[in-house]
A and B are shown apart, each in its own frame.
Chain A
Amino acid sequence: MKTNLRYKFFFILGVILVCIYGIIGLPKSKDELIANWHERIHLGLDLSGGTYLVIQVQQQDAFNQEASSDADRLKEAARKANIPVNEINVEAATSIQDAKNAAIVVKGVPSAQAGNFRSLVNEQLGEWVLTSVNPTDYRLTLKPTNALALWKNTLELSKNTIDKKINALGLTEATVQQRREDADSELLVQMPGTDDPTRVKQIIQTAGVLELYEVKGGPFNSREEALAQQGGVLPLGSKLIGQPITNGSTPSKGGGVYLVARTPVVRGQDIMDAKPESGQMPGTWNTGFVLSQEAARRFGEFTGSHIGTPLAIVLDGKVLEAPSIKNQINDQGVIEGQNSQQDAKDLSLNLKAGSLPARVTYEQESTVGPSLGADSIRQGFVAGIAGVLAVVVVMLVYYKKSGINATLALVLNAIILIACLSYFDAVLTLPGIAGIILTIGMAVDSNVLIFERIREELRAGKAVIPAVDSGFRKAFLTIIDTHITTVVSCAILFLFGSGPVKGFAVTLVIGLIANLFTAVFVSRFIFDWELSRPKPVETLSI
């Protein structure tokens, strides 16, 4: 009996030490203790202050983009293979749910060429499924596996790009993740300590795609004018770019339609670095960029052989300017005329991060200011301490010395719970605090159940030791049932719930398991220890 108790004592002591280490580590000073505490106990954004955004990736953009570039490829291939086709169009998807239905519609393939057309599609557009609408018309949709891959890729790319942009803003603690397993077009951006997301939102939504094109004609006032100039048909391998000139905008200020080479000389992904620079005039700002090695070689060759040709600098589809190439340029360039240092900085940031594969919309924005978070913690703390004190006082008055036993179990429960949160890297949120409160309630309940049982047994005339023994034994069944029922419901909340509900479930489950240990094992140990003294115990202070 004695040695058994000694083993139990060391076991409990071990658990306490491991838990305390988990909470505060091995501090050498008071400052270190506080630092360790802050490092190990992670507060949710609702307590620490910060912002989170729920972003929806408009997947249909990526699908429409894919359909449109493959439609172009198909046109080109059909022309080369001498298969006459009336028209090849894209049937664009208009919503996220609809994204995978983005299709290429082909009309007017002579039925004699049907076989050739089929094999051409199989050869060139392997990711698409061809279905015939009627003998001359066809519809192409993405194969399910390819559609899934594109979907996932779009989400992943969006996530990485947003991550880059936010990190470049200096928000190093920020995280981007998929919001929920089954919400596969939604991203959750968490930014601790940020209390105004306006700028972040702006930067995420701004694309920042820089392209440099060889200019073949222009500027024109409108698309119609440009087309008329070319006799109604654009020359091969060229396209129109830019915006029509409206009143007030002049070609030099970024308006105008240009006829440019179809493929750009430099594209967004060629940019390796970008940074703001002050302009020649005081107060003006530019954004300088550096090209990657491979792009620099290509660009050097091009500029060397095209001296005198205008080069269109296009940002997000808008022609900024079209200066003539004066000499060979290798790896560096400057975008001039930013309004402020801030604008130049934002542009360089966007140039580096690249563009999103699809537009994004904001579904939710939640900001808790630091003052509210601080107040919540303080008020929660005061309320918690007041509640626990009240409980302890009542237990001590009602159960006398045995109340001490219950108090010790309660304190140990709290220590284990906090230590587990620290070891599991869990985040403490407001609903988590709700879980802790329920845990405290159930911990008190377990003790009350046991004590009431012991009292009953004593009233029935049992001696102290058998009364304690059967009190624990009988209460144990009840405690197991109440705990398992709650754990079962928590498991459901954890599996199917999200965010706040999950936080509640995690703290509650940890608390309940800790409670089985403290109320049943530790509390029993304290009773047994008390009763194992050589002098036989005749009365129990309960």
Chain B
Amino acid sequence: MEIFKKTNYDFIGNMWPFIILSLLLTVAGLVSLWLNGGPKYGIDFIGGAFMDVNFINRPPAEAIRSALRQKISGEIEAQEVSGTQEVLIQTSARDDKALQIARGDMIATLNANFNKNANDQKLDLNQAPQATLADRLRDPLARAGAGLSEDQLQALSKAITGFRDTSPRSGLVSSLDQLSAVPGVTPKILDVIKQECQAGNFAIRSVEIVGPKIGADLRQQAINVVLIALAAMLVYIAFRFEWIYGVAAVIAVFHDTIITIGLFSLFHKQIDLTVIAALLTLVGYSMNDTIVTFDRIRENLKLGVRGTFTDIVNLSVNQTLSRTILTSGLTFLTAVSLFIWGGQVLSGFSFALVIGIMIGTYSSIFVACPILIFWRNLAEGRAAQGRSSVGDKGIKAAKPVKTAK
């Protein structure tokens, strides 16, 4: 099967609408960033507390927000994760002291407001670590005449928490009767569990608390590392091709990154460390794509293909088009499957990839290549000027024009 057999589209001749589109997207992204006062950083970059809570009966996000506001300083966000019973809670409290107790405060507030049927005397199975559960059951089991050895007890506790934590329960047992499915839980043991424990309304899936100092540190480091990596790529490409190729490739990658970050801002999505990993990935893809095209241009120039530089660039883009579409299409498929099935933790990551792959493919053709052509035209213009004024400015004309070889 072949889709693109010897294509001959005039990409470069029709590049202007695309360049304008690129500029528009870039400007839209920048304006959105400017209006929102910079990217919306996740707490790993600015400091704060984050909690992922899974409910049996999810209260409205607004109720959670107002309950927490009574107790915790700083801006509080609560966001429902669609398709699940999860709520993501985030506070921007930057004060070191407030952060130290944020976890306890948040859980206590949630318990007081959204776990109302709870009985203080019983252990909340949905919030209990394995060891706590074992400690709680040890004596009552013995009293009930179902005493277990320490190893058996730990194994039982592990089986119960393991059962609770696997899909489809995902950390939440809605009724203790469900536990009868756990190997080792006899009716007698289940009775003891029912007497000692209860199934609370929510479970804490993850907690992240970042001090403001380390947040600023991580942010600075991420930016530095990406910039140094880009510089290193520029140097390598300049060494293998010509320096303008390196510059063009880096500008194209920059263009992709700015548009992606801009779109994140437009969609009110957060930039956190996983998104940085995604940005690095798409820098890799975009760079790869650009180099493949440049490589063809270099080869065609070496072979002495007839035509102007613009013709050669256009030919090269056409020659590599089949490969470009296929590769991008396939990686796009991978990214989309990650976006659909990858779950909440990966959602920011896969969102960045889905956008990034499209923009990265497009930028190789409509950003990187035009820069080469502009530069070549500029250099040729200058060279022509130099030749015409040999008499007056001999020194300038004597300078070898590298790009004209």
Question: Is B295 in contact with A492, judged by CB distance below 8 angstroms?
Answer: no
CA distance A398 to B353 in the complex (A): 24
- From known contacts A365-B209, A434-B281, A486-B284, infer whether A448 and B326 are also in contact, taking CB-CB under 8 Å: yes
Q: Determine the chain A residues whose CB is within 8 A of the CB of B345 once the complex forms.
A: 46, 372, 376, 379, 430
Quick one: closest A residue to B235, CB to CB?
A488
Question: Is A455 in contact with B2, judged by CB distance below 8 angstroms?
Answer: yes
| In the complex, A441 has a CB within 8 A of chain B | yes
Q: Determine the chain A residues whose CB is within 8 A of the CB of B221 once the complex forms.
A: 496-498
Q: In the complex, which residues 172-228 of chain A have their Cβ closer than 8 Å to any Cβ of chain B?
A: 183, 186, 194-196, 198
Give the shortest distance, in Å, between B233 (CB) and chain A (any CB): 5
Question: Is A394 in contact with B330, judged by CB distance below 8 angstroms?
Answer: yes
| In the complex, B404 has a CB within 8 A of chain A | no
Segment at the interface with B among A12-20, A233-241, A381-389:
A381-389
Give the shortest distance, in Å, between B399 (CB) and chain A (any CB): 29
Question: Is A452 in contact with B170, judged by CB distance below 8 angstroms?
Answer: no
Q: Determine the chain A residues whose CB is within 8 A of the CB of B99 once the complex forms.
A: 362
Number of interface residues, chain B, beta carbon within 8 A: 86
Q: Determine the chain A residues whose CB is within 8 A of the CB of B338 once the complex forms.
A: 380, 383-384, 387, 437
Q: Which of B206, B296, B329, B349 has the most CB of A within 10 A?
A: B206
Q: Determine the chain B residues whose CB is within 8 A of the CB of A452 once the complex forms.
A: 320, 322-323, 326
| In the complex, B24 has a CB within 8 A of chain A | no
Q: Which of B2, B214, B280, B285 has the most CB of A within 10 A?
A: B280
| In the complex, B204 has a CB within 8 A of chain A | yes
Mark A352-375 against chain B: 1 for CB-CB distance below 8 A, else 0.
000000000111111111111011
Mark A432-456 against chain B: 1 for CB-CB distance below 8 A, else 0.
0011011011101100110010011
| In the complex, B255 has a CB within 8 A of chain A | no
B residues adjacent to A (C-beta < 8 A): 1-2, 6, 52, 54, 96, 99-100, 103-104, 129, 131, 161-162, 164-167, 169-172, 203-211, 213-214, 217-218, 221-222, 224-225, 228-230, 232-233, 236-237, 240, 273-274, 276-278, 280-281, 283-285, 287-288, 291-292, 295-296, 299, 319-320, 322-323, 326-327, 329-331, 333-335, 337-338, 340-343, 345-346, 349, 353
- From known contacts A364-B211, A370-B165, infer whether A397 and B288 are also in contact, taking CB-CB under 8 Å: no
Question: Is B104 in contact with A198, judged by CB distance below 8 angstroms?
Answer: yes
Give the shortest distance, in Å, between B324 (CB) and chain A (any CB): 9
Q: Determine the chain B residues whose CB is within 8 A of the CB of A455 once the complex forms.
A: 2
Q: Determine the chain B residues whose CB is within 8 A of the CB of A486 once the complex forms.
A: 284, 287-288
Question: Is A430 in contact with B274, judged by CB distance below 8 angstroms?
Answer: yes
Quick one: closest B residue to A195, CB to CB?
B129
Question: Is B166 in contact with A501, judged by CB distance below 8 angstroms?
Answer: no
CA distance A375 to B165 in the complex (A): 9
CA distance A374 to B206 in the complex (A): 12
Q: Determine the chain B residues whose CB is within 8 A of the CB of A448 once the complex forms.
A: 323, 326-327, 330
Give the shortest distance, in Å, between B3 (CB) and chain A (any CB): 8
* 12 A–B contacts from the bound complex (CB under 8 Å): A49-B165, A364-B208, A366-B209, A368-B205, A394-B330, A394-B333, A437-B335, A444-B331, A449-B292, A455-B2, A485-B237, A496-B224
Question: Is B233 in contact with A489, judged by CB distance below 8 angstroms?
Answer: yes
Give the shortest distance, in Å, between A77 (CB) and chain B (any CB): 40
Question: Is B341 in contact with A364, judged by CB distance below 8 angstroms?
Answer: no
Number of interface residues, chain A, beta carbon within 8 A: 80
Give the shortest distance, in Å, between A173 (CB) and chain B (any CB): 14
| In the complex, A493 has a CB within 8 A of chain B | yes
Quick one: closest A residue to B272, CB to CB?
A500
Q: Determine the chain B residues whose CB is within 8 A of the CB of A46 once the complex forms.
A: 345
Q: Determine the chain A residues whose CB is within 8 A of the CB of B217 once the complex forms.
A: 183
Quick one: closest B residue to A452, CB to CB?
B323
CA distance A456 to B208 in the complex (A): 53
- From known contacts A379-B346, A394-B330, infer whether A365 and B103 are also in contact, taking CB-CB under 8 Å: yes
Question: Is A379 in contact with B225, judged by CB distance below 8 angstroms?
Answer: no
Given contacts A365-B207, A437-B338, 16 further A-B contacts (CB under 8 A): A362-B211, A369-B204, A370-B161, A374-B166, A391-B330, A394-B330, A398-B2, A431-B273, A441-B330, A444-B330, A448-B323, A481-B237, A481-B240, A485-B288, A492-B229, A496-B224
Quick one: closest B residue to A504, CB to CB?
B277
The 4 tightest CB contacts between A and B, nearest first, are A371-B171, A379-B343, A387-B334, A441-B331
Q: Determine the chain A residues whose CB is within 8 A of the CB of B104 once the complex forms.
A: 198
| In the complex, A41 has a CB within 8 A of chain B | no
Mark A469-512 against chain B: 1 for CB-CB distance below 8 A, else 0.
00000100110011011101101110011111100100010000
Give the shortest distance, in Å, between B160 (CB) and chain A (any CB): 12
